[in-house]
């Protein structure tokens, strides 16, 4: 008992998570996205038409720092939710499937702590995944293209140093955006012993949420969808920075964490752990 045991459990959870071949494979796949974009733009003989393709694609050749932002725009709808869904869906169901859940729960009052530790592991992965895309994009951009002052959506220009700060803010925004999805994955994971099922369900939900967000007939539902603010990080690229969507996104994700966390606790504390 005590907090030291909790920290030890978190340490071992993180080391298991980040020593896994699967985790590394996903992070490498994410790192490859900005590199692919940068190389494709570099090798292409035709300049990109402004206004076509993902955000800032046409400006990469002038400024390599845009590679990271373009890659994040590409990754947010599918690749990031995909990898987060795999990690979050695996949290409880994976242990149940391997038969290790019983041993993890031997300590008294261990269930809440185990849930918290598992969720913290998923959160750490959200951050690692976003940071990987941003860092690999920044690196690929610096290597392949010239670097200079960055143009914001408002048409104003900021220095390289400030653009690094804004990139960090964007990474933080996207990490926060994925917290709700992680909580949903954790909840689904407590309902099944088949990790693949929990992963698939989490990923499908992230796609469904984005599809619903695009249907104008369901406008009343949009503010309640966890993916509603996913692309709102563009507000950090305005001058002055608009914090509205950052705040709304944080509140929305916190609500999803509270609801899914409470349901996951209730389900998990009533779960029969036989194997």
Partner 1 sequence: MRWLVAMTRAQQRWLPALLIPVALVMAVLFGSVQAGAAVSLPSKTADEILAMIARTDVRALSGTVEQSAGLGLPEVPTTGPGIAPGAASALELLTGTHTARIFVDGPSKARLQVLDQLAERDVVINGGNAWFYNSADNSATHLSAPASPASHGHESMPYRSTMPTPEAVARSFLAAIDSSTEVSVGDARSVAGRSAYRLTLNPRSQETLVDSVSIDVDSQTGLPLGIEVRAKDQEEPAYSLAFTELNLSTPDAGLFEFTPPSGASITEEVLPPKPVPALAAPPDAGQLRHSGPAPTGEGWDTVLAFPAGSFPPGFLSNPQLSQALQPVAGGRALTTSLLSVLVLDDGRVYAGMVPIDRLQSAAAAQ
Q: Which is nearer to partner 1, 192 or 242 (CB)?
A: 242
Does 258 bind partner 1 (CB under 8 A)? Our answer is yes
Question: Per-residue x/- marks for partner 1, 18-57, CB under 8 A?
Answer: -------------------------------xxxx--x--
Distances, alpha carbon 273 to alpha carbons 99, 137, 269, in Å = 9, 43, 10
Cα–Cα distance for residue pair 179/271, rounded to 1 Å = 24
Nearest CB to partner 1, comparing residues 11 and 149 = 149
Work out which of 155, 217, 220, 272 binds partner 1, going by CB under 8 A.
Answer: 155
263 in contact with partner 1 (CB under 8 A)? yes
CB of 176 to partner 1, least distance (A): 18
C-alpha–C-alpha distance, residues 207 and 252, integer Å? 18
**Choice from 17, 37, 58, 82 touching partner 1 (CB under 8 A):** 58
Give the HSE-up count for residue 196: Cα atoms under 13 Å, Cβ half-sphere: 0
* Residue 151 DSSP code: E
| Smallest gap from residue 136 Cβ to partner 1 (A) | 21
- Determine the distance from the C-alpha atom of residue 19 to the mean position of all C-alpha atoms in its chain, rounded to a whole number: 19
Q: Which of 14, 147, 196, 242 binds partner 1 (CB under 8 A)?
A: 242
What is the 3-class SS of 12-54, one letter each residue?
A: HHHHHHHHCHHHHHHHHHHHHHHHHHHHHHHHCCCCCCCCCCC
State yes or no: residue 154 binds partner 1 (CB under 8 A): yes
Stretch that binds partner 1, among 135-143, 175-183, 195-203, 266-274 (CB under 8 A): 266-274
Restricting to residues 124-153, name those near partner 1 by CB under 8 A: 151, 153
Cβ closest to partner 1, residue 21 vs residue 274 = 274
Asked if residue 240 has a cis previous peptide bond (ω within 30° of 0), the answer is yes
Are the CB atoms for 118 and 198 separated by under 8 Å? no
Rounded Cα distance, 246 and 172, in Å: 10
Alpha-carbon distance of 77 to 2, in angstroms, equals 40
Of 127 and 265, the one with the shorter C-beta distance to partner 1 is 265
In the complex with partner 1, the residue whose CB is nearer, 29 or 271, is 271
Site residues for partner 1, 202-241, by CB under 8 A, read 231, 234-235, 238-240
Q: State the Cα–Cα distance between residues 16 and 270, nearest whole angstrom.
A: 26
- Per-residue tokens: 190: 């407590």
Instruction: Verify binding: residue 102, partner 1, rule CB under 8 A.
Output: no
Q: Using CB under 8 A, list all residues that contact partner 1.
A: 49-52, 55, 58-59, 62, 73, 151, 153-157, 231, 234-235, 238-240, 242, 244, 255, 258-259, 261-263, 265-267, 269-270
């Amino acid at each position: 008992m005590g907090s030291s045991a909790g920290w030890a459990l978190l340490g071992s959870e993180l080391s298991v998570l980040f020593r896994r071949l699967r985790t590394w494979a996903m992070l490498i796949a994410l790192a490859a996205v900005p590199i692919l974009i940068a190389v494709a733009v570099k090798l292409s003989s035709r300049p990109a038409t402004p206004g076509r393709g993902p955000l800032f694609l046409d400006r990469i050749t002038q400024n390599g720092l845009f590679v990271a932002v373009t890659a994040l725009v590409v990754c947010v709808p599918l690749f990031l939710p995909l990898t987060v869904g795999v990690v979050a869906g695996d949290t409880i169901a994976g242990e149940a499937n391997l038969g290790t859940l019983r041993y993890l729960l031997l300590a008294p009052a261990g269930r809440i702590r185990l849930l918290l530790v598992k969720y913290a592991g998923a959160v750490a992965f959200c951050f690692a995944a976003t940071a990987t895309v941003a860092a690999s994009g920044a690196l690929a951009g610096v290597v392949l293209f010239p670097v200079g002052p960055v143009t914001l959506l408002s048409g104003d220009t900021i220095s390289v140093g400030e653009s690094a700060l804004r990139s960090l803010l964007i990474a933080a925004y996207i990490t926060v955006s994925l917290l709700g999805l992680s909580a949903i994955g954790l909840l689904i994971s407590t309902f099944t012993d088949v990790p693949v099922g929990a992963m698939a369900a989490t990923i499908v939900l992230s796609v469904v949420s984005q599809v619903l967000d695009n249907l104008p007939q369901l406008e009343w539902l949009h503010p309640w969808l966890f993916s509603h603010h996913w692309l709102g990080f563009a507000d950090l690229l305005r001058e002055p920075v608009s914090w509205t969507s950052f705040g709304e996104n944080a509140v929305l994700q916190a609500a999803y964490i509270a609801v899914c966390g409470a349901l996951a606790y209730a389900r998990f504390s009533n779960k029969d752990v036989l194997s």
